[in-house]
Amino acid sequence: MSDKYDVVVIGSGPAGYVAAIRAAQLGLKAACIEKWKNNEGAGVNGGTCLNVGCIPSKALLDSSYKYHEAAEGLAVHGISTAGVEMDIQAMLGRKDKIVKQLTGGIAGLFKANGVTALYGTGKLLAAKKVELTDNNGVVSVIDAENVILASGSLPIAIPVAPVDNDLILDSTGALEMGEVPERLGVIGAGVIGLELGSVWGRLGSKVVLLEALDDFLAIMDKAIAKESKKIFTKQGLDIRLGARVTGTEIKGREVEVTYKTTAGEELKETFDKLIVCVGRRPFTQGLLAPDSGVDVDDRGSVYVNDFCATNAPGVYAVGDLVRGPMLAHKGSEEGVMVAERIAGHKAQMNYDIVPNVIYTHPEVASVGQTEEQVKAAGEPYNVGTFPFVASGRALAANDTDGMVKIIAHADTDRILGCHIVGPSAADLTQQVAIAMEFGSSAEDLGMIVFGHPTLSEAVHEAALAVNGGAIHIPNRKRR
């Protein structure tokens, strides 16, 4: 391949395809390489997120929640239902249709913006050359002024639970189960485990989540994690903390799981299906030639600076390949930043304000620092909380589980963090993220007029509560 590109992106997930499009918008000649194939063997864009991650899992979450509401949640509204059934194949078909629509949409965006789509495997060689092995096995070398590595991540495998995607599944296999298992085990009670457990729990599985850590959602604010666990337990998820899986054995069409508790007790549990959700790792296999000049740290992440530049000149890495949380939106913004810097702009990214979301129902979302982090830093702070049970809109919708928590600096009143478990938590947290980006105080947020009745009023009241001014709940005494 004789053409030379200003930018070659390896990987077309949320970080890669966005980087390629933004580069092309800024007048750079851009190409994007993707190895993913659809069921027909054709190359498709979108990476893990669109094909077997964020998008298909949200499709199943929404379908399963609608089924649950129809079967069990409408009587309170005066709506009688009987004989509600879920067609699993139709649910999976809808999921696949959404995936096809969105991955095809990226191809359309590439065409509209002049990005060259290349399908196959990319490897970074020395001197910013990229080896492309296309889907027919033909090898060529592409010259690039700049290379952006965006090859994403893979599920972490654990030897004690070897995945066969029949009885023991990874997160990808869990999106394709053709029937509802009576007993479902999930190793890991993090984001993916909770989301997948919620899907199949709503559809009728008895779900047990085995979490090795003693703390539930350790990365979240402790008050929100505690409230979340209470809600999920009430929904029927059996969350067992301090449960380290030590072995699995296939017995017929069942999986026997052995785990050890923090107290040292060894226990066994039998499941019809077992999902392994213990995290993800950067995908660098075959990505870097030995002389590429790119360093990888001891966790397998590509080493980059604050602007996602590697130590090889003209080579960048973004998304799940690099430090920080593995979040699609974090990767997308890194892709934009890198494309703009290549084009000569002084772009940067605020890593302190990256929202994190768990798409259960209710959702769990956060942005900024937890109370534990602020306390550990020795900063003076105030906290305001507001429960959704005191929200008129949440009551009208019969969706009152959860709360909003806002943390602000005690001296400057600047918002340091927002943590929500409750209806529309992701969208509500984003409101506070915008305020934080502009350096808003809790008082600033409290002075804004919020529509009534809305769920957003819970954010408003929590902001007011920071300084003892909440209207619709009693204010706790200031420190």
Chain segment 156-198, per-residue pLDDT in tens? 999 999 999 999 999 999 999 999 999 999 999 999 999 999 9
385: Cβ–Cβ under 8 A, 6 or more apart, which residues? 223, 403, 404, 405, 406, 462, 465
Task: Express each pLDDT in 225-247 by its tens digit.
Answer: 999 999 999 999 999 999 999 99
- Whether the upstream peptide bond of residue 14 has omega within 30° of 0, thus cis, is no
Give the pLDDT band (50/70/90) at residue 40.
confident
* Average pLDDT estimate for 319-337: 97
DSSP annotation of 162 reads: -
Domains and CATH numbers, the chain: 4-155+281-342 (3.50.50.60), 168-278 (3.50.50.60), 356-466 (3.30.390.30)
pLDDT at 59: 98
Write out the DSSP string of 262-324: TTS-EEEEEESEEEE-S-EEE--TTTB-TTS---B-TTSPBP--TTSB-SSTTEEE-GGGSSS
Residue 45 confidence (pLDDT) above 60? yes
Distance (Å, whole) CA 38 – CA 65: 27
Confidence band for 479, pLDDT divided at 50, 70 and 90: low
Q: Measure the CA–CA gap between 105 and 44, rounded to whole angstroms.
A: 10
The whole-number pLDDT of residue 478 equals 63
pLDDT at 2 over 80: no
From residue 21, give the alpha-carbon distance in Å to each of 45, 320, 340: 13, 19, 11
Summarised one tens digit per residue, pLDDT across range 455-465 is 999 999 999 99
CA–CA separation, 143 vs 355, rounded Å? 37
Question: How sure is the predictor about 437, in pLDDT bands with cuts at 50, 70 and 90?
Answer: very high
Specify the pLDDT at position 476. 81
Residue 295 pLDDT > 70: yes
Per-residue confidence band for 299, with pLDDT thresholds at 50, 70 and 90:
confident
Report the share of the chain in percent with pLDDT over 90.
97
What pLDDT sits at residue 95? Answer: 98
- Give the pairing of strands 403-409 and 415-422: antiparallel
Active-site pick, 77, 345, 409, 452: 452
Active site residue 452: yes
Higher-pLDDT residue of 354 and 3 is: 354
Is 404 a residue whose pLDDT tops 90? Answer: yes
Task: Of 100, 145, 101, 139, give the one whose Cα is nearest residue 118.
Answer: 139
Residue 273: closest CA among 217, 216, 197, 198? 197
pLDDT average, residue stretch 76-88: 95
The answer to whether 149 and 10 have CB atoms below 8 angstroms apart is yes
Cα dihedral sign for 45, 47, 53, 54? negative
Helices 88-113 and 54-68: crossing angle, nearest 10°? 140
Tell me the pLDDT of the chain averaged across its residues. Answer: 97
| pTM, full prediction | 0.96
Q: Where are the beta strands (DSSP E) in 71-214?
A: 116-124, 129-134, 139-149, 153-155, 168-169, 183-187, 206-210
Length of the chain: 479
Which tokens is 271 given? 């499941």
- pLDDT the model gives residue 439: 98
Rounded to 5 degrees, what are φ and ψ at 76? -65, -25
